[in-house]
Amino acid sequence: MSSKIRVRFAPSPTGPLHIGGVRTALYNYLLARKLGGTFLLRIEDTDQTRFVPGAEDYILESLAWLGIMPDEGVGIGGPHAPYRQSERKDLYKAYADELISTGKAYYAFDSAEELDAIRAVYESKGTAFQYNALTRVKLKNSLSMSPGAIEEALASGQPYVIRLKVPAKAEIRFQDSIRDWVHVHTSSMDDKVLMKSDGMPTYHLANVVDDHIMEITHVIRGEEWLPSAPLHILLYQAFGWQAPQFAHLPLLLKPEGNGKLSKRDADLGGFPVFPLEWTDPQSGVVSKGFKQEGYLPEATLNFLAFLGWNPGTEQELFSLDELVNAFSLERINKAGAKFDVNKAKWFNEQYVKQHPVSELASAYLPEIESGKAEAFVQLFLDRITFPQELGQKVAEFSAFPKEYDSAVLANKWNSEAQKGLLAIQTCIEHIQDWHAESIKHVIHGTLETEGIKMGKVMQMLRVALSGNGAGPDLMISMELWGKQQVAERLSVALAQFPKLSE
RNA sequence: GGUCCGUUCGUCUAGGGGUUAGGACACGUCCCUUUCACGGAUGAAACACGGGUUCGAUUCCCGUACGGACUACCA
């Protein structure tokens, strides 16, 4: 008996992959790597009406961007191909038939409209309708109909679904890796549809059959599946199969208020909930992506990993390999986690700072000569959250000041500052070796001989050169502007500042 | 409504029968710096409530409240 770990990520191609889905994929990936197992990708496209073109590619591209590619599955191949459920359609029918023949499932001929009507009646009475042991005898199915009538209905091609015959009185229990024992009584479950009238299986059947065939050992999925887990257990029992180990992940919640994180929150909060930018093929509406917003894949992964899991130590920055190493199902939390943009940004800043300067320079300042571009990156590295801010920073830096910080001017512009700036204007003319260190040396020396305190003029010098009262290291800035530019900026500023007499 | 799941600073969380309840983000203050940012230090900030069990409960049990998920021929 093989004890090889096999996990899967099984999204539906109904739109862009949600960030919660990405976290599910990540946890699956981490467990597989941690235990030397296999991570596979299966596409659950059994609902033909909700298929969205491009969604499958989007999923693959997202996983590739983050570096958590599956070992097996759609787009990769493997021993259990095909991995797209629509292409495995015929398989499921045979399993459903097996359940019919063993009496674990039955045909139901009730139309969707009939059931809706029944539901409406129940609802008007303040109760909920359940298709179960109590009601199925009064409905149109192979349990209530005579053998002849069933025969006839089937032969005449009357549409039907196959439903699981849920036992009336039984307690279903299973041990979840995250929630421990979960018990549910079958009286609160209904006879779920296994095969739809269009010949496609429902999620429940396809999922259980495929997880079994593909030898999945651990099912790691979102908490929204917890209520249907007992049904899946029942299915495994009906087939006589061993159920995999379940782990139901806590949900990702809205940053404000309550509820599941949704696309709407992203639009409202100005942050992405999708890994990559997505253009809706129907409406053309574009949704932001972590990548396009400027989040680095390592930062996105690290941030996501910590939403619902932690290593139990005080280390927060983890590479993917370190995550693999530290990961365990046991340390996943039970309660839902609110998405916090500030924390995401903080992670990104950490990774931006760690990023090789040369790469940032060539990727984000491609127009600028590499040596200078790297100097700019160094200058702004601590002041940006997203690397693409670099271009804007450099543009602002390079532009001639349009106006001068009036508050600083009001406070610091005095005759001593004027004297200092005049002295600086003269002395920089003589600097041959135009580098931050030598500029600093000369300016300091000049101010000292003039008997002017640094504090009295330096901020005015900054305002004169950049227009701003705050900014990066002035000496390095001067080096980057170049001697001629500095001289020009200084003389323009001096001409505009009010003239002060001694 | 029913079923199930959950609840430690504003947020992510550590912890766990006896602790000054720890860390991180954000926020305040201070230091560093010519300024800002970075960095460092520091402050404010939490065990939902009520009953048990116990010498002792934030920790275990039960209720309540609150929150969430699910309740389709969607996944």
CATH number of A413's domain: 1.10.10.350
Q: A495: how many CB neighbours lie within 10 A of its CB? A: 8
Pair A440, A477 in one domain: yes
Is A288 an annotated catalytic residue?
A: no
In a domain, A463, yes or no: yes
Pair A394, A412 in one domain: no
ipTM of the complex: 0.95
On strand B, nucleotides with any atom < 7 Å from a protein CB are: 1-8, 10-15, 23-26, 34-38, 67-75
Q: A317: how many CB neighbours lie within 10 A of its CB? A: 12
Catalytic residue among A34, A263, A338, A343: A263
Pair A417, A491 in one domain: yes
Verify if strand B has an atom below 7 Å from the CB of A467. no
Among A369, A398, A427, identify where a domain stops: A398
Our CA dihedral for A435, A441, A444, A445, rounded to 10 degrees, sits at: -130
CA A420 to chain centre: 53
Contact between residue A317 and residue A233 where contact means Cβ atoms under 8 Å apart:
no
- One digit per residue, the tens of pLDDT, for chain A of length 502 reads 346 999 999 999 999 999 999 999 999 999 999 999 999 999 999 998 999 999 999 999 999 999 999 999 999 999 999 999 999 999 999 999 999 999 999 999 999 999 999 999 998 888 889 999 999 999 999 999 999 999 999 999 999 999 999 999 999 999 999 999 999 999 999 999 999 999 999 999 999 999 999 999 999 999 999 999 999 999 999 999 999 999 999 999 888 767 788 887 777 777 899 999 999 999 999 999 999 999 999 999 999 999 999 999 999 999 999 999 999 999 999 999 998 999 999 999 999 999 999 999 999 999 999 999 999 999 999 999 999 999 999 999 999 999 999 888 988 898 889 999 999 999 999 898 999 999 999 999 999 898 888 888 999 999 999 999 999 999 999 999 999 999 999 999 999 998 877 6
Distance in angstroms (rounded) separating the CA atoms of residues A87 and A78 = 15
In a domain, A470, yes or no: yes
In a domain, A415, yes or no: yes
Structure tokens given for A18: 């949600």
Q: What angle do CA A205, A207, A213 make, to 5 degrees?
A: 100
Pair A477, A414 in one domain: yes
Pair A383, A452 in one domain: no
In a domain, A441, yes or no: yes
Residues 6+ away with beta carbon under 8 Å from A42: A8, A9, A10, A73, A74, A83, A84, A85, A210, A214
Distance in angstroms (rounded) separating the CA atoms of residues A231 and A234 = 5
In a domain, A46, yes or no: no
Pair A377, A459 in one domain: no
Pair A443, A485 in one domain: yes
Distance in angstroms (rounded) separating the CA atoms of residues A303 and A290 = 12
Distance in angstroms (rounded) separating the CA atoms of residues A491 and A172 = 84
Pair A416, A367 in one domain: no
In a domain, A162, yes or no: no
Q: Per DSSP, what are the bridge partners of residue A332? A: A309
Pair A428, A369 in one domain: no
Among A366, A398, A430, identify where a domain stops: A398
Pair A365, A412 in one domain: no
- Can you give the length of chain A in residues? 502
Burial of A181 (0-12, 13-18, 19+ CB in 10 A): exposed
Among A338, A368, A398, identify where a domain stops: A398
> Which CA-bearing residue is nearest the C1' of B67?
A258
Task: Give the CA A269 to C1' B38 distance in Å.
Answer: 27
Pair A394, A427 in one domain: no
Domain tally, chain A: 2
Pair A489, A412 in one domain: yes
Range of the domain at A394: 355-398
